[in-house]
A and B are shown apart, each in its own frame.
Chain A
Amino acid sequence: MKPLLTVEDLRVSFPTRTGLVEAVRGVSFTLGRERLGIVGESGSGKSQTGRAIMGLTPGHAKITAQKLAFGETDLLKASPKVRRDMRGRQIAMILQDPKYSLNPVMTIGKQIMETLRTHEKISSGAARDRAIAMLEAVQIRDAERVFKLYPHEVSGGMGQRAMIAMMLVCGPELLIADEPTSALDVTVQLEVLSILDKLVADRGMGLILVSHDLRLVSSFCDRVIVMYAGKIVEELPSADLANAKHPYTQGLLNCLPTLGTDRHPLPVLERKKEWAA
């Protein structure tokens, strides 16, 4: 089966006043129509990996890879116009906080319609119908009412669902979700994740879930990649997480306080220099 996304030796670096910062240092993986989780702490390079695939890295950054391909298209060699076309139509991305990722001066409905009409030639009436249908698909009950609301007038969970609707309305094949539930309350997180789960399964999409929450990612995704200091330190199926081999993964699993465990003091992650080598 042809992989949806092929990443080989991806490197992303930023020139700064104090030297070159290497955010991603040689990441390789393939993605089929499955759910892949990328887990790491801040500074691990997980967000930059997702952005490099989308083509959203800041202009002054340097991106190289032996291969970065979406289906047949070579993402590195593609022109900016081709990449712009792909964004929304073939690859989509959801960000963390709908407060900052939705346009605050446009109604939710208008934003979804804008995404549609950027990629397809349809009338505004047809676009409106599809936007409302999409809002209903993310289980927003009053779709007609929410269509007319501004982002600040809806709760975090609803805003995130609106964001999902906006990103999936053109039917992309790959969705990259960068900490999609980190800004939401615990009970709302599960709702949003189950909506995402259903949509991804129904449409046969590939999903990359980027998060710092190892537990969440392992319960949601089929496969997990653990990143540290710009490199992949472990890659394993979620079911095998308890048998993780790399000390960093084991450390991450152990250091969280949970209801079932009672360890005083909590085991602390001892970072070893060779993990970043």
Chain B
Amino acid sequence: MTSALSVQDMLVTYDGFAALDHVSVEIPPGESFGIVGESGSGKSTLLRAVAGLATFDSGTLSVNGRPYGGKKRDKEFYRAVQMVFQDPYGSLHPRQTVDRLLLEPLVVHGFQDIDARIARALDEVGLGAGFRFRYSHQLSGGQRQRIAIARALIVEPKILLLDEPTSALDASIQAEILNLLEQARKDRNLTFVMVSHDLGVINHMCERLAVMKTGKIVETIPASALRNREFSADYTRQLLIASEGFSRTAS
């Protein structure tokens, strides 16, 4: 069975510094794959290199069996792969209404029944028709992220790249967005590649995960291994301890 996403030995350097150091990942279709790491680990770089927003110096990338290189991607790629960004305040055009934002991908890909699709997309992310003509600055963080998700899903992709989609949101809103993402994945049988620094979120959303540090993958384990403490790398243990909160006796 062809992998939905296959990355082999990918290298991304900036001025001689390796942001991604020979990274390999294989993701079968329908899986929810997590990437955990701290800042500078290269997790976001990996996502951006897959999306074509960053160019990779060597290695191979193939999506649904088709190989891609550098920054060149085709229309088929953009139909199959979409991305949700971290900052809800930066990922929507500041001067466009929700209607215009959702119109853009439909027009670029040549869809016909635009009005119906926009209405359906808003409905799917739990926002009513009253939101259709609001400007992005009239929306809260959680509402913006819902629009970002609607925009990503409106072209009916197969693979969703999620770059810390809930890090900038309040805890209670995070729960709503995670539930929304999970439901969307179930309904559409999507493949998720989710990046986060939060082990709790990754454990909740993903079946398998890769732990990254300074551009390298430290280890790739199933989520159950995390719960049962069955991992091998020291760094993973550090992350796990850190996620459990402050402990006076340990300091």
Contact = CB atoms under 8 A, between A and B. Distances in A.
Contacts of A156: 39
A91 B201 CA distance: 37
B139 to A, nearest CB: 14
A264 B182 contact: yes
Contacts of A213: 171
A267 B175 contact: yes
Given A190-B246, A219-B245, A256 B239 contact: no
Contacts of B173: 41
B172 A219 contact: no
A212 interface: yes
B175 A187 contact: no
B171 A265 contact: no
Given A256-B200, A258-B200, A259-B227, A268 B175 contact: yes
A196 to B, nearest CB: 10
**Count class of interface residues, chain A:** 35 or more
A57 interface: no
A186 B239 contact: yes
B199 A265 contact: no
Contact of B203 (A185, A190, A219, A257): A257
Nearest to B186: A264
A186 B201 contact: no
A259 B200 contact: yes
Nearest to A187: B242
A42 B170 CA distance: 7
Contacts of B239: 186-187
Given A42-B170, A266-B178, A268-B176, A257 B204 contact: yes
A126 interface: no
A214 interface: yes
Contacts of B182: 264-265
A41 B171 CA distance: 8
Contacts of A185: 38-39, 197
18 contacts: A41-B173, A42-B170, A186-B197, A186-B239, A186-B242, A187-B238, A190-B242, A190-B246, A193-B246, A194-B246, A197-B251, A215-B245, A219-B246, A252-B172, A256-B200, A259-B226, A266-B175, A269-B175
Query: Closest 5 interchain pairs by CB?
Result: A257-B204, A194-B251, A269-B172, A185-B38, A255-B175
